Structure 1
Amino acid sequence: MVTFLLERTAPLSPDEAWRRLTEWPRHGEVVPLTRVTIVPPGPTTEGTLVVARSGIGPLAFADPMEVTVWRPPAEGVSGLCRLEKRGRVVRGWAELEVHPGPGGRARVIWREQLRVPLLPEPLLGVAARSVFGRALNRLLRGA
């Protein structure tokens, strides 16, 4: 099991940072070899299933994640989304937090715990921090 934390300050309002982070199909655009679908389609709420399918052909696997906490930021209140990983291959959870930061900027925290069978923890930790760190940067940069 690997737990990691990513933190960024972005020149965005908390609402805009939240929108960019929770526009789930965009995660598929910024994580290599991944496509993301939402079940049911429509606005995210608690119970929404976010399914990331990663890989190529027979080496692909699904990473279904259920939204168990959905609290968008509001005036002076931080936002929090918790996803529980329900797949056969990837287990664990992820939390996305958006806080008001200095100068009207958004402070973003991405916290995640992963378990992937047969993948050594040191390798998983390095790969997860690298892939998700780049993804977070691209999500916050993109329009």
Structure 2
Amino acid sequence: MVREVPLTAEEAFTRLTDWSRHGDHVPLTKVHAVNGGILARTGIGPLGFDDPMRIVDWDPPRRFRLEKQGRVVTGWAEVTVTPLDLGSRVEWREVAHTTGVPKAFARAERAVGRMLFSRVIDGLLRT
């Protein structure tokens, strides 16, 4: 996903890495920074799952990369921010797979992922 926004690269990067705000845009999810990474907890009460992510590349305000290391959700996310004359360009690439989802549903899984990641990026970058 690519978005061009009227924010400086520094402001866009700061918003994208305000981890606790990610949870504002993902239903039933809370997100917290933890020891060199992020932990997203999705669920209601004791029913749910953790989505731990490790920061493997960090170059503010240009890019970051996360690797999902959970038992339920695997994959990675990579975000780059490029300054423009009147703002910045944000590119968010993510591959996520939910354990137990058959390959026959891969297309639907990707579509749901795009919808969810679009909601997050748009919410975080809203001016």
Q: What is the TM-score normalised by the length of structure 1? A: 0.82
SS at match of 1:112: strand
- Write 1 or 2 for the structure with the bigger share of strand: 2
Q: Which runs of 5+ in 2 are unaligned?
A: none
Would you say the 8 A contact 2:74–2:99 is kept in 1? no
Matched, 1:85 2:68: yes
1:123–1:57 distance in 2 versus 1, CA, 3 Å = farther
Q: 2:95 aligns with which of 113, 116, 130?
A: 113
Paired positions, count: 124
Deviation at 1:58, TM superposition (A): 4.6
- In structure 2, C-alpha distance between the alignment counterparts of 1:136 and 1:38, rounded to whole Å: 18
Q: What is the TM-score normalised by the length of structure 2? A: 0.91
- In structure 2, C-alpha distance between the alignment counterparts of 1:132 and 1:113, rounded to whole Å: 10
Please list the CA deviations of residues 15-74 of structure 1 after superposition, one character each: whole Å capped at 9, or x if unmatched. Answer: 00000000000001111111011113xxxxxxx12001112245411110000100002x
- In structure 1, C-alpha distance between the alignment counterparts of 2:33 and 2:8, rounded to whole Å: 25
Residues 54-65 of structure 1 correspond to what in structure 2 (within 5 A)?
Answer: 54-65=42-53
- In structure 1, C-alpha distance between the alignment counterparts of 2:47 and 2:113, rounded to whole Å: 18
Q: Which runs of 5+ in 1 are unaligned?
A: 1-5, 41-47, 74-78
Matched, 1:11 2:21: no
- In structure 1, C-alpha distance between the alignment counterparts of 2:119 and 2:41, rounded to whole Å: 18
Higher RCO (CA-CA < 8 Å; seq separation 6+): 1
- In structure 2, C-alpha distance between the alignment counterparts of 1:107 and 1:129, rounded to whole Å: 18
Deviation at 1:115, TM superposition (A): 1.7
- Identity over aligned residues, as a percent? 46
